[in-house]
Structure 1
Amino acid sequence: GTLIDHYTYSYKEAEDALQLIKENNIPLIFCTSKTRKEIETFCNKMEVNHPFISENGGAIYIPINYFAAEYDYDIEYEGYNVIELGTRYNILRNVLKNIQDAIETEIVGFGDLDATQISQLTGLDIKSAENASVREYDEAFTIKIQDEQNIDVNQIIDIITSKITSSGLTYTKGGRFWHIMGDNDKGKAVAILTDIYQKELGNVKTIGLGDSLNDLPMLHSVDIPILVQKPTGSHDPEITDPSINYIDGIGPVGWNKAITNILIKDS
């Protein structure tokens, strides 16, 4: 919803800023609720070969031999050194199933859906929906309440989120879905990756852009935090931190404006 348009999944409106980033040899780091497979698709399209952070800080994927500096990582996997911060997907699924059974309200996770159903829910094409279903450290879910159930949605959400935290896990709300995950967030991952860059390059300046509440930990972990407008045309009303820079422009339009302003001012 920030660099990638919420509805069209296009980054076309940010191409000017992306070109400036490339010309200045600035690492572009995806930090998103998207899966590794989804991010790899965008990286290939955009010719980006930098580390990335998947599934709300569930893992940091660093291309092997990207850094000369030494750093700790957990596993080597498909051309990456992977720093695992999240809880494995099967554990998250089991907890969500137990909560559903306890409250007798249907919770629909991506693991319950095939690619066609995910496509219908999200507007993704089938291949992209398949990539979105390859989850490793985060389950995206919605709550399905039948018309005949006389239930307060907010009350149900409170019960579910309370049960998630009492299970030792955490949750966040993204642009479309709720997410259940381990003790990870985008901010923790950004802080770790920034430390590695500083080992390699010395002092670095970080810029982070987001539009939703699940971006807040990331925005608190960068030098220049920027909030763009949501698809509704307004900034997230739940984010009220005065240290964050608000910029007009929905998604990639705001992203483009913010990055262009910063890079032209610094040049």
Structure 2
Amino acid sequence: MIEQQVIIFTDMDGTLLDHNTYSFEAATPVLEKLHAKQIPVLPTTSKTFVELLALRNTLNLTTPFIVENGAAVYIPHGFFKKKPAGTVWQDGYWCKSFTSNKQYWLKLLEKVKAEFSGEFTHFSEMSIEAICDATGLNEADAARAANRQYGEPVLWLGEASRKEAFIKAVKDRGAHPLEGGRFVHICGDCNKGSALRWVVEEYIRQFETPVTSIALGDGKNDIAMLEAADIAVRITSPSHPPPTIQKQEHVYTSTHHGPEGWAEVLNQLLFQ
């Protein structure tokens, strides 16, 4: 059992939510135990602000949340004792942002379209129906997913070898692309790891107490978060291998997929 204050940072799709069905039922008993122990669970995801508003209600979470692969942290009033450093009051939350807005990245994508004509599309060009087809989301959830503030998900349609050339091209123009389970997210120099560190530092500053951070994720866009956390948990996926990380100590890999694996490892770490 960990004696310090624990903060859990969790990816959503493929981690707390099943890769195919988006169900979290298998994780519900552990979520309830964490709530009873006052262990905050912070969604740390590629999802948008509006997606998280709905999802947090479904999950019965009232904690801060990190959106769009670390682009911003939203903190409910009252979670911290004082106004968090460097935040602005936005949409009913204290918001700390780490990158440029979506329009900046849309302009960048326009610059590479001629070179990669027909080889990719992205959310701002896709219909809600097309987003449904690409993600498996229903129309309402797809509309929330399209309502992005900071980055832009790209759906690669071409050959895998050309995908690497595309990633290099956007990197050369200043983007820091992140590969998730389904999309390449075009965004700035932000990631889930930097956002995790900011939250932990702010928590320590405000409460003057040591913190043990646990991060759980299944994709390449979770690597920075897994590396930054005190304890890294790689959730196995039916669609891709666990992310490769440099961290050697305090690394765990689930034997089960998605929410089953999520519950499996947290039970081992915190409740045995």
State the secondary structure of the residue aligned to 1:53.
strand
| Equivalent position of 2:15 in the other structure | 2
Sort the Cα spacing of 1:140 and 1:82 in 2 relative to 1 into closer, same or farther, 3 A. Answer: same
**Greater shift in the superposed pair: 206-215 or 234-243:** 234-243
Match of 1:190 among 196, 199, 203: 196
CA distance in 2, matches of 1:9, 1:53: 19
CA distance in 2, matches of 1:75, 1:197: 17
CA distance in 2, matches of 1:86, 1:5: 29
| Equivalent position of 2:222 in the other structure | 215
Contact 1:228–1:235 (CA under 8 A) maintained in structure 2: no
Q: For 1:240-259, what aligned pairs fall within 5 Å after superposition?
A: 241-243=247-249, 244-259=251-266
> Match for 1:203: what amino acid?
P
> Match for 1:227: what amino acid?
R
Structure 1 residues 157-184: Cα deviation after superposition (integer angstroms, max 9, x where no partner): 1221111111111011111111111000
Query: Where in structure 1 are there 5+ consecutive unaligned residues?
Result: 146-152
Match of 2:123 among 73, 85, 110: 110
Q: Compute the displacement of 1:74 (Å).
A: 4.2
| Equivalent position of 1:38 in the other structure | 51
Aligned residues between the structures:
257
> Match for 2:178: what amino acid?
T
Q: Compute the displacement of 1:238 (Å).
A: 4.1
Contact 1:228–1:246 (CA under 8 A) maintained in structure 2: yes
Contact 1:3–1:11 (CA under 8 A) maintained in structure 2: yes
**Greater shift in the superposed pair: 199-208 or 23-32:** 199-208
> Match for 2:171: what amino acid?
T
Q: For 1:77-156, what aligned pairs fall within 5 Å after superposition?
A: 77-145=90-158, 153-156=159-162
**Greater shift in the superposed pair: 71-80 or 55-64:** 71-80
Contact 1:229–1:249 (CA under 8 A) maintained in structure 2: yes
CA distance in 1, matches of 2:231, 2:271: 15
Contact 2:227–2:245 (CA under 8 A) maintained in structure 1: no
1:63 aligns with 2:48: no
State the secondary structure of the residue aligned to 2:26.
helix
Contact 1:69–1:199 (CA under 8 A) maintained in structure 2: no
CA distance in 2, matches of 1:225, 1:159: 31
1:179 aligns with 2:192: no
Structure 1 residues 215-264: Cα deviation after superposition (integer angstroms, max 9, x where no partner): 010011111111010124x7426446533221211011100001111121
Contact 1:169–1:182 (CA under 8 A) maintained in structure 2: yes
Match of 1:28 among 33, 41, 58: 41
Q: Compute the displacement of 1:71 (Å).
A: 2.9
| Equivalent position of 1:204 in the other structure | 211
1:158 aligns with 2:173: no
Match of 2:85 among 72, 80, 84: 72
Q: Compute the displacement of 1:65 (Å).
A: 3.2
Q: Compute the displacement of 1:97 (Å).
A: 1.9
| Equivalent position of 1:148 in the other structure | none
**Greater shift in the superposed pair: 195-204 or 179-188:** 195-204
TM normalised by structure 1 equals: 0.91
| Equivalent position of 1:149 in the other structure | none
TM normalised by structure 2 equals: 0.89
> Match for 1:213: what amino acid?
K
Match of 2:176 among 159, 170, 177: 170
State the secondary structure of the residue aligned to 1:206.
strand
CA distance in 1, matches of 2:84, 2:49: 21
Q: Compute the displacement of 1:104 (Å).
A: 2.7
Contact 1:13–1:253 (CA under 8 A) maintained in structure 2: yes
| Equivalent position of 2:8 in the other structure | none
RMSD after superposition: 1.6
State the secondary structure of the residue aligned to 2:43.
coil
